[in-house]
Amino acid sequence: GWRVCIDYRKLNEATQKDHFSLPFMDQMLERLAGNEYYCFLDGFSGYFQILIDPKDQEKTTFTCPYGTFAYKRMPFGLCNPPGTFQRCMMAIFHDMIERTMEVFMDDFSVFENSFSACLTNLENMLKWCEDTKLALNWEKVTLW
């Protein structure tokens, strides 16, 4: 399919930066290490699942041969979506992160030492996805 790519460099220059820290990969891998069972899942069109505040939508306006449009959901190319998205994922899975799963952007790792416990953790994670309408890319799911 087609992917619209907008040059948001000028908007990014004028945007107040969100300095939200992403998790440290080495710490996440350390927590994952030593478990027997893993489930790796991927968020479907991650940023595009997050709504833009209506008062900010006009800032994403672009014109093409088919008309003038503004995004209602976060497109890629803006400077703050990584922090915004990670913050949203941490809010959704706050009770599971570092205990039964790890989240890095739109990549989710569910883990445990027993198969049944890993399935329970996966079920809990999927329940949160369902409750918050967070879509997953089922073609990228891996169960170990």
Please report which helix (H) or strand (E) contains residue 14, including its range.
helix 9-14
Residue 13 lies in a domain: no
CATH number assigned to the domain comprising residue 26: 3.30.70.270
Q: With cut-offs at 50, 70 and 90, classify the pLDDT of residue 67.
A: very high
Query: In the chain, how many domains are there?
Result: 1
pLDDT (average), residues 70-85: 93
In a domain, residue 75? The reply is no
Specify the residue for token string 């399919």.
1
Instruction: Give dist(CA 50, CA 84) in Å, integer.
Output: 9
The mean of the pLDDT values for the chain is 93
Distance, in Å, from the CA atom of 142 to the CA atom of 120, rounded to the nearest integer, reads: 16
Domain holding 94, by residue range, is 22-50+81-143
pLDDT digits (tens, 9 = 90+) for 97-123: 999 999 999 999 999 999 999 999 999
Question: Would you say residue 31 lies in a domain?
Answer: yes
Q: Is the pLDDT of residue 141 over 80?
A: yes
One-letter amino acid of 133: K
7 lies in a domain? no
Residue 3: predicted pLDDT = 78
In a domain, 86, yes or no: yes
Give the pLDDT mean for 29-51: 92
**pLDDT tens digits, 80-90:** 999 999 999 99
pLDDT average, residue stretch 61-76:
94
Query: Hey, which residues does 83 pair with through a beta bridge?
Result: none
Tokens of 67: 């008309």
Could you tell me if residue 33 is inside a domain?
yes
Q: Across residues 26-54, what is the average pLDDT?
A: 93
Fill in the DSSP letter of residue 53: P
pLDDT recorded at residue 22: 86
How many other C-beta atoms lie within 10 A of the C-beta of residue 96? 17
Q: Is 65 part of a structural domain of the chain?
A: no
